[in-house]
Structure 1
């Protein structure tokens, strides 16, 4: 491949396409997947080099389709398990992620044109900015972020309490943009190239060394800290088949949950934790607008059980409420005048003490705000049995009578740094994730989720407890270490003695106080650099023409 060609031969295009496919496949191996359920994290330190090389070598006419192609192919490999959810999902997600990279690839190409010798530095900043922006819009999807691939390399990720996952991503991507630049240019020997870029290389070395030292010191510090109290949590993993519904299924699931909870009570827990939508019939709806006698009896039985327990119970349960207060619950056309929230119920002292409504809904499957703008897609989603939840807006903090303050991000809410930091800023001393990834029928899908959750504990220095339907049920300590994970897709319960670190004793981390600041700096710096580069390029071009 050569930079001098403005038109690409079929052979050159074929080789570039092959390199992109290979890079996407190798990059997918860095994460939990179909080959290894924990992932080969070390692969992420070099897997993107071929991608950056192709962007440097190819023409402007190809950079946009290459961006879409790379994103599409990577997420086909990475999210192979989405086919279990729905055939449409395995196409929809890669199309969306490919669409995002349509913006990334030209931005990187512009950087390389505008900044030449030091473009690799700008490339790394742009990549971090893209990573944040691609995860924080309506269809934002953090799975597959570069930094999350090394969730088990604890020394290297302790800086997340300052920079969030974005600083980890920057340190991983910069040497890859640098090596891609060298391999494409090859104007000098490697050591001569290093000498020419000695200041950036030394600067990067200092950052890496500082990160490692910070990680070692941070791990030692938190390992030496005594928790303010220990919270004894009983997690119940009933491993129900998410694809089955109906009264008989709900009844059997409740019986299993009740039996397992009563068994766990013999170990004297402080609280019992079920999973997301563990009990499906809506308590709020059926208590106020009963439609089926059997379901109403089941709801009453569940509520009576929750109230009768000697310790608090936390469980997921859809919250059905009246959609239009001027209309009856059931219309003459047989339709329900109802809307639903994905909700957590907190039982204590014989009553439902509080609830939390999910704030960050799964795009397309739980939430689609573009019914008017894209009616054809809205109808397609409805035709494929997708149902919408309403959005919650409060970062609720539950408080037990014993004084433990905790929040319950639902489903994939624990993969978003900002949301969990808001919980902690509101007073949560423990993060309790309640999720159900059982629909995927893949341990790798559940491990991808867990790998992202690790960063929430480090960013906020708060212990995470995960209560799941089928995995991965565990505790993540304040260092990001995964503790005592239950076997996935197996019915059972487990007692965790959860260390609680309160804000009164340990305060807030830099990240908690300045949520995603590193990412915002990368975004604004990217805009400024590309804007400056464009102005300089235009001015230089005009001068040359005079």
Structure 2
């Protein structure tokens, strides 16, 4: 319980810290995790109330400290599976997210102080702005975004085709900022009842109720509409889930993985699919490098065998495969010190008609593990990462759209690229009719990690009204239809294959959504409003302060 005693003492601080600690654990339960593999999404509709209450109750001096503490604890518990990835990762992510909240918490308190009556509305807008800004920089990381907790509540999240995940986040956070305000005000002033405060804020309550009802009505109507639509085509996709640890490396591992992938692909071929889908880096030795600069005879022979298999298939094959190219064009492939003059892209290659028709290079790289652009600015951290076996990929820049001879247009966001709305909207704007995500989350060894990833991917289908098919190493392999419904997920961490009948809704017939045409506009609006409102609030506060000083002098 928060101590409302006006005297600040150790007891007050301890009670606030305990509330934040409990709130961080509670909030993590809203998402897939240790408590529930699917998450308890309803908790996301109230878990932040104690957080906003503590910010309102505490001092300015403690606000940034509390921000770091809450962010660190939440991500430490929410992303517990990062420890499997690397010991540094489970520290880096909570420190970064806690650091972001060092700025967020004072901004929220400023909204409360500058806007006495409707500060909770400004808080909600700031929370949406923070949610976007926290994923729109080098270390951007959208896991834990409030709206994601509602991924199972399909009628509630259909507005994402207009607002993206940001509108959903605002609808979830506003009641919580309001409740924190009302509850504290009621507890501090026992002369007025809770109902009296609600009457004072009737305009907000009625407006929110109207928006919420309209959102749900639209949600049910849009689900009904899309499920009544006949797709322009049904695309039979064979997904191969080989559930192997591709990080082990070495010729024997590569050979065994390829043999398993080939065997299951040939089995699936008997079901007459239109295309075969492998996962991210399913075949690890670089085709581009070994074809041009063969070094190890055994590995080069394995690459030739793989390429021959891909070209021999009667249907297309899509797979992840690193693309090794010359780094310094002015030097030979093998440098004088014995190292290779090479750089690599995380790439998808597309086989059809006996050739590699096209490739796609991953554009949004995982910070710290795949990409770190601050070698000169932060040499100590750069060298620390290198010393801990982190290696960098090069960044791609083209939103490639593949097209099969049957006329299916699709794009292949690699791994966590499908958690970013802007990237997938660009694919669809470029002409993609299906989103084909290729993922390897097997390293996490946690179903909850795979489900957190899947929960974010749900929004990409709704935002763009395009079907998503996910081909993963070990989960979650599935289809997500245009309403966000998850269809027939394969059992995670199990070897196997499945044929999916993927409904194809084309841009020629159904056009593009408002979100696809105006990517993240709602988030930008929240950012601009946050700056504007805080600026106007500060200016108004300054004017009142100057007037009071003048009155005292006179």
Question: What interval of TM-score do these two structures reach, taking the shorter chain for normalisation?
Answer: over 0.9
**Is 1:283 the equivalent of 2:287?**
yes
Q: Which residue of 2 aligns with 1:482?
A: 486
Q: Which residue of 1 aligns with 2:385?
A: 381
Q: Which residue of 1 aligns with 2:511?
A: 507
Q: Secondary structure at the match of 1:60?
A: coil
- Quote the offset at 1:2 in angstroms: 6.2
1:541 and 1:321 map into 2 onto residues whose CA distance is 63
Q: Which residue of 1 aligns with 2:250?
A: 246
Q: Secondary structure at the match of 2:359?
A: strand
Q: Secondary structure at the match of 2:276?
A: strand
Write out aligned runs for 1:191-210 (5 A).
Answer: 191-210=195-214
| Structure 1 consecutive aligned stretches of length 4 or more whose deviation exceeds 3 Å | 1-5
Is this contact kept in 2: 1:3–1:58, CA < 8 A? no
Q: Which residue of 2 aligns with 1:44?
A: 44
Q: Secondary structure at the match of 1:406?
A: strand
**Is 1:428 the equivalent of 2:467?**
no
1:193 and 1:52 map into 2 onto residues whose CA distance is 18
1:242 and 1:326 map into 2 onto residues whose CA distance is 33
Q: Which residue of 2 aligns with 1:371?
A: 375
1:17 and 1:192 map into 2 onto residues whose CA distance is 30
- Quote the offset at 1:243 in angstroms: 3.6
Q: Which residue of 2 aligns with 1:448?
A: 452
1:137-184 C-alpha deviation (Å, 9 max, x unpaired): 100000001000010100100000000000000000000000000111
Q: Secondary structure at the match of 1:470?
A: coil
Is this contact kept in 2: 1:30–1:40, CA < 8 A? yes
Is this contact kept in 1: 2:246–2:254, CA < 8 A? no
2:402 and 2:547 map into 1 onto residues whose CA distance is 65
Q: Which residue of 2 aligns with 1:112?
A: 112
2:184 and 2:128 map into 1 onto residues whose CA distance is 22
Q: Which residue of 1 aligns with 2:407?
A: 403
**Is 1:165 the equivalent of 2:165?**
yes
Q: Secondary structure at the match of 1:235?
A: strand
- Quote the offset at 1:543 in angstroms: 1.1
1:242 and 1:176 map into 2 onto residues whose CA distance is 44
1:229 and 1:242 map into 2 onto residues whose CA distance is 34
Is this contact kept in 2: 1:276–1:316, CA < 8 A? yes
1:521 and 1:126 map into 2 onto residues whose CA distance is 11
2:378 and 2:547 map into 1 onto residues whose CA distance is 46
2:9 and 2:24 map into 1 onto residues whose CA distance is 23
Is this contact kept in 1: 2:24–2:70, CA < 8 A? yes
1:473-512 C-alpha deviation (Å, 9 max, x unpaired): 0000000000011000000000001000000100001111
Q: Secondary structure at the match of 1:38?
A: coil
Q: Which residue of 2 aligns with 1:316?
A: 320
2:442 aligns with one of 438, 445, 452: 438
Is this contact kept in 1: 2:183–2:194, CA < 8 A? no
1:29 and 1:4 map into 2 onto residues whose CA distance is 31
Q: Which residue of 1 aligns with 2:9?
A: 9
1:305 and 1:136 map into 2 onto residues whose CA distance is 40
2:259 aligns with one of 255, 272, 282: 255
* Stretch moving more, 331-340 or 461-470: 331-340
1:324 and 1:17 map into 2 onto residues whose CA distance is 53
1:344 aligns with one of 338, 341, 348: 348
1:109 and 1:2 map into 2 onto residues whose CA distance is 18
Q: How many residues align?
A: 545
- Quote the offset at 1:11 in angstroms: 1.1
CA RMSD of aligned residues (A): 0.9
1:85 and 1:289 map into 2 onto residues whose CA distance is 31
Write out aligned runs for 1:179-198 (5 A).
Answer: 179-186=179-186, 187=189, 188-198=192-202
- TM-score by length of structure 2 reads 0.98
Q: Which residue of 1 aligns with 2:274?
A: 270
Gaps spanning 5+ residues in structure 2: where?
Answer: none
- Quote the offset at 1:4 in angstroms: 7.6
1:122-145 C-alpha deviation (Å, 9 max, x unpaired): 000000000000011100000001
1:506 and 1:56 map into 2 onto residues whose CA distance is 47
Q: Which residue of 1 aligns with 2:18?
A: 18
Q: Which residue of 2 aligns with 1:361?
A: 365
Is this contact kept in 2: 1:161–1:461, CA < 8 A? yes
Q: Which residue of 2 aligns with 1:101?
A: 101
Write out aligned runs for 1:300-311 (5 A).
Answer: 300-311=304-315
Q: Secondary structure at the match of 1:117?
A: coil
